[in-house]
A and B are shown apart, each in its own frame.
Chain A
Amino acid sequence: EAGVAQSPRYKIIEKRQSVAFWCNPISGHATLYWYQQILGQGPKLLIQFQNNGVVDDSQLPKDRFSAERLKGVDSTLKIQPAKLEDSAVYLCASGLGTGPSYEQYFGPGTRLTVT
């Protein structure tokens, strides 16, 4: 079974530029998550989708971050404009459903460096 795919794996941009990350979840997984992991910290949930609907985006900085999951499969996360403090690893995860009994499977992440 293929895992969660993310691209690109690394990205370096200057502040005020825009960037987009792509995630392809495990086939059949209804739930998709985007996390931000700043160096030395644990992953922090940015947004959670159930199929193509948003379940939780309370920690998404909506003035600069946006995410979509068209057709309930792939998802993109965009930052526009980027700030220095956005430097982090962006992790995508997927699961069969929502709830503690549904394991979250993580992709390898995209490491973003903003200079």
Chain B
Amino acid sequence: DQQVKQNSPSLSVQEGRISILNCDYTNSMFDYFLWYKKYPAEGPTFLISISSIKDKNEDGRFTVFLNKSAKHLSLHIVPSQPGDSAVYFCAATTASGTYKYIFGTGTRLKVLA
């Protein structure tokens, strides 16, 4: 049972344009969401997070939007840069219990120069 889904395995965007990566979840108990970025042969690195009490969180070029009613979150990267080319994972957890992260399958972003 895939509780966190990233339905787009890959995405190509021109440099300078907006990249939008999407993530859907099924478990209504999730109340904290994160995005991780992964380069080849490296471990994932934390990018940005959002609590369910918010609907938007911004950090520089990166903004995460949360739509709780639709159980959907998205990561916007503006403007996209070639160095943003990586695999992006969304993850979800509950702010109680063991705080186990459930990761999606990832979206490979390629930013074209």
Residues of A within 8 A of B (CB): 4, 40-45, 48, 55-56, 91, 93, 98-100, 103-109
Contact = CB atoms under 8 A, between A and B. Distances in A.
A104 B101 contact: yes
A94 to B, nearest CB: 11
Contacts of B105: 40-42
A105 B95 CA distance: 19
Contact of A108 (B43, B51, B104): B43
Interface centre among B4, B44, B89 (most CB of A within 10 A): B44
B106 A104 contact: no
Contact of B103 (A4, A42, A98): A42
Nearest to B91: A42
Interface residues of B, number: 24
Contacts of B100: 45, 48, 56
* Interface residues of chain A: helix, strand, loop or mixed (majority): loop
Interface of B: 4, 32, 34, 36, 41-46, 49, 51, 89, 91, 93, 95, 98-101, 103-106
22 contacts: A40-B105, A42-B89, A42-B103, A43-B44, A44-B103, A45-B101, A48-B100, A55-B98, A91-B43, A99-B95, A99-B99, A100-B32, A100-B49, A100-B95, A100-B99, A104-B101, A105-B43, A105-B46, A106-B36, A106-B44, A106-B45, A109-B43
A108 to B, nearest CB: 5
Given A40-B105, A42-B104, A42-B106, A93 B43 contact: yes
Contacts of B4: 42
Query: Which 5 pairs from chain A and chain B are nearest by CB?
Result: A106-B43, A42-B103, A100-B32, A56-B98, A103-B46
